[in-house]
Amino acid sequence: MKLLLHTCCGPCLLYPLGRLREQGLEPVGYFYNPNIHPLLELERRIEALEEVSMRRGVEMIWDRRLYGLDSWLRQLEGRFSQEERCPVCYRMRLEAAAHAAVSMGFSAMSTTLLYSRYQRHELIRQMGREIADSHGIQFLYEDFRQGWSQGIEEAKALGIYRQPYCGCIFSEAERYRGRKRRMEKRLASSGVTGGSEGAVG
């Protein structure tokens, strides 16, 4: 089986890579994640994935559309809630992976999104199979979440960057909601106010 593995980041590649190699497979990684913002965050994740690729001997294919802010927002069409945006985001990435797999002669595809405890696992499995079928290739499914702790320990041992949110700017806002409230409370207690116009001062 010639397998193209959609790869969201370095830490999430480690455990799935090990499991696939145990099965005699040598996946080729494919990076297309237009959801990752801002650009400096994308850069940090790419550097971590480059390190994993080098240390673990994984071939990577980097989609030339590395930073996809405009295309990603257009696809969302104002669907910014988590329930609405995640399916759109999954489909964008899995469709791109399937297209790349077919164009480069791969017989199967999978994704490291199946490793995350924070993603909608059943939706990813269902969507992956549907998209792969429509492109005439196999979707290789495995519940990589069982190796969640192992993958974290491997990432720590390598000393690579481990991201604190999924990648999109909305998940960052949700992740740091508590910090935002503390900041607002601190500014309010300092007597700092501001309206919709003009500078805060």
The reply to whether 45 falls in a domain is: yes
Rounded Cα–Cα distance for residues 134 and 81 (Å)? 28
The reply to whether 16 falls in a domain is: yes
* pLDDT per residue as tens, the chain (201 positions): 999 999 999 999 999 999 999 999 999 999 999 999 999 999 999 999 999 999 999 999 999 998 988 999 999 998 989 899 999 999 999 999 999 999 999 999 999 999 999 999 999 999 999 999 999 999 999 999 999 999 999 999 999 999 988 899 888 888 887 777 888 888 888 876 565 544 443
The reply to whether 189 falls in a domain is: no
Residue ranges making up the domain that contains 97: 3-180
How many residues appear in the chain?
A: 201
The reply to whether 100 falls in a domain is: yes
Contact indicator for 52, 5 with CB cutoff of 8 Å: no
* Assigned token pair, 67: 């930073």
